[in-house]
Amino acid sequence: MKGFWWKIAGVLLFLYVLIGGMIIPIKSGITSVTPNNAKSGEQLTFNVVGYNTNFLSATKVRAWLKLDSIHAISATEIEKISENDAKFAFSIPSNFPTKEAVQPLTLIVDTDIDGVFVQPNAIFVTLSDSAVISSEAWMSSAIGQFSEVKGIKFPYRNILNETIRNTFFHIALWFAMFILLIAGVYHAVRFLNTGDMVHDIKSAAFNKIGIMYGVFGLITGSIWAKFTWDTFWTSDVKLNMTAIAMLIYLAYLVLRGSSSDHDRRAKLSASYSIFAFVALIPLVFIIPRMTDSLHPGNGGNPALGGDDLDNTLRLFFYPSIIALALLGTWMSQLLIRYEKLKEKILLKNQ
Amino acid sequence: MNIIKIKDIFIKELSIEFRQKFALGGIFLFATTVVFIVYKSFNNINPREWTILIWIIMLFAGLNAIVKSFLQEKKETYLYYYTLFDPIDLIVAKLLYNFMFLCVLFLIILGVMFVFTGFPVKDYGLFFTGSGLGIFGISIVFTFVSVISSADSGSSTMMSILALPLVLPIVLLLLKITTVSVRLLVDTTIMDDVKMLIGVDFVLLGAMLLLFPGLWRS
């Protein structure tokens, strides 16, 4: 047990992430509301298409249109068509509490099976000229007493849908890659200080597995982009800078493969890997943050904060980083042992 | 660091350069020919293409020019230098020499481009500060990589494999600064990019000064 408990921990954690991350359902949400515009003082029926909803099985379905934190109206009639389709009728008051030409309304739905879910800016209401500022019709229906749902569910995001699970793999792969590359640089520095070949072997192994993780990170990111942005690659800063970073590290592999003299190769590749890591920091951390980008974490887009990473996601995201880092260390360890054995055979044959 | 020694190495490099006139002439001929080919194939170059072409030509002409900075001398010569100079002096002198060389090369490319395709730059201050900083960064990377590739196999292929990915971030920043100075793009935060370039230069310079003495000993 002693000495390999962390390998078992890594495998178990990764299995937990894989199974949990794939099996746990996504919360209910609303994919579309038609029509999405209306006039004040109108009687309107909206077709609502839900995602992962149970309109038919639910005994109690309630819906509101919310203007702001105190102003809302409730649905006059609710017709269930199927589990994922329903018709909500609203009578939109002719008077609004604020006087702006177009008012966005948020649709809130609450059922006893799925709990509460929200579609922001679901309907845009155009005010008629005769509208008077009055909040009378908006105060009667209080939103509240939401049904509680049991069990863990991942949050529903409109464009992400099921791909939100990729958080556990794509983002965690980058984190684990950085842990491995830092280990690689640490051993490169140790090698330059001590001249001990063991550190050279270790540095190379960590860097190689780090590069492999980087390639996996690019692939998973690319697939994710296909589903959310509808393209495998965009001319986005973060994507391009990462591609450059990978090119720099691929050049490292070329450098390692080019020389047959072990001592010289060790010295050169250690120096180059430190230089490359130093060049990597502005590339991945600073430049992308200065420019606008589609990718989360840039240009004001939230990344690992706010609503995007809620507690249910955290439950799998952090273990995933630890698991991938442990598995990466294990793979590096295998590479290190292989390289050491190769050295040993080389020495024996001489 | 010893200023007098740095000056000595600098002058030595300069005199070697002028003694081998064919190498010097070859690089400038290369630059002129490339500009001419580009001019003949595009015929009419708009500012957008101009900003991209000038840096691509600069990059490859510079790569050709700096390859020899550590490759031209024999192993024995280095052993001799090793007994004479502090490694920091040597690398600083080489770096300053390469920087000056690239600046001259850049001015010559600019001149040839000016004759054939015009000079669309509107904001001179931004263009020349940005270019100067960028060329400084490029010369740091090229000098360091030329040390590595001369110690490795002595081939110039290794140099381009290692150097091109490393200068990409600098070139991207340079392209943006040049685009702004040509007024194709209005960006009020362009000084951030200039500061970024300064930061990248200093980080690379620091890494090089730290790592070179170790490499030099071999």
Helix H or strand E encompassing A267? helix A262-281
Query: Per-residue DSSP letters for A79-143?
Result: EE-SSSEEEEEEE--S-BSS--SEEEEEEEEEETTTEEEEEEEEEEEEPPTT--B--GGGSS---
pLDDT tens readout for residues A135-157: 777 776 667 677 777 777 777 77
Q: What is the pLDDT of residue A166?
A: 82
Evaluate whether ipTM surpasses 0.95.
no
Q: What is the pLDDT of residue A267?
A: 85
Q: How confident is the model at residue A209 (pLDDT cuts 50, 70, 90)?
A: very high
Report CB contact under 8 Å: B152, A281.
no
Nearest by CB to residue B168, choosing from A244, A250, A271, is: A244
- A156: three-class secondary structure by DSSP: coil
> Is any Cβ of chain B less than 8 angstroms from the Cβ of A276?
yes
Give contacts of A 134-193 with B, CB under 8 A. Answer: 192
CATH superfamily, with its number, for domain A32-138:
Immunoglobulins (2.60.40.10)
Residue B192 with chain A: CB contacts under 8 Å: 290
Report CB contact under 8 Å: B151, A286.
no
Least confident of A144-158, A311-325, A329-343, B40-54: A144-158
Q: How confident is the model at residue B153 (pLDDT cuts 50, 70, 90)?
A: low
Report CB contact under 8 Å: A274, B207.
yes
Q: How confident is the model at residue A290 (pLDDT cuts 50, 70, 90)?
A: low
Phi, psi of A90 (to 5 degrees): -130, 145
pLDDT tens readout for residues B120-144: 888 888 899 999 999 999 999 998 8
Global pTM reads 0.79
pLDDT, mean over chain A: 81
Q: Does residue A212 carry a pLDDT above 90?
A: yes
Q: What is the mean pLDDT of residues B23-41?
A: 83
Q: What is the pLDDT of residue A216?
A: 92
pLDDT tens readout for residues A82-140: 888 888 888 888 777 777 778 888 888 888 777 788 888 888 888 777 777 777 777 76
Q: What is the mean pLDDT of residues A156-179?
A: 83
Domain ranges of chain A: 32-138, 161-349
- Which two structure tokens, joined as six digits, stand for A308? 């995007």
Give the whole-angstrom CA distance, residue A333 versus residue A337: 6
Torsion (CA) A287, A290, A295, A300 in degrees, nearest 10: 160
Distance of residue B143 Cα from the nearest chain A Cα, in angstroms: 13
Phi, psi of A301 (to 5 degrees): -75, 135
Report CB contact under 8 Å: A264, B152.
yes
Residue B47 domain boundaries: 3-217
In total, how many domains does chain B have? 1
Minimal CA–CA distance to B42: which of B119, B117, B138?
Answer: B117
Q: What is the mean pLDDT of residues A8-23?
A: 88
Q: How confident is the model at residue A300 (pLDDT cuts 50, 70, 90)?
A: very low
pLDDT tens readout for residues B57-101: 899 888 888 877 666 666 677 777 777 778 888 888 889 989 998
Q: What is the mean pLDDT of residues A157-168?
A: 77
Q: What is the pLDDT of residue B192?
A: 80
> Is any Cβ of chain A less than 8 angstroms from the Cβ of B161?
yes
Give the strands of the sheet with A85-91, arranged side by side: A29-34, A43-51, A85-91, A77-80
Q: Does residue B196 carry a pLDDT above 80?
A: yes
Residue B144 with chain A: CB contacts under 8 Å: 275
Name the percent of chain A lying above pLDDT 90: 15
**Which of B166, B180, B209 is the best residue to mutate to test the A interface, defined by the most A CB atoms within 10 Å of its own CB?**
B166
Q: What is the pLDDT of residue A180?
A: 93
Q: Does residue A339 carry a pLDDT above 50?
A: yes
Nearest by CB to residue A272, choosing from B162, B189, B206, is: B162
User: Scanning every residue of chain B, which has its alpha carbon at the shortest distance from the alpha carbon of A193?
Assistant: B214
Give the whole-angstrom CA distance, residue A85 versus residue B6: 79
pLDDT tens readout for residues A250-268: 888 888 887 767 788 888 8
Q: What is the pLDDT of residue A299?
A: 47
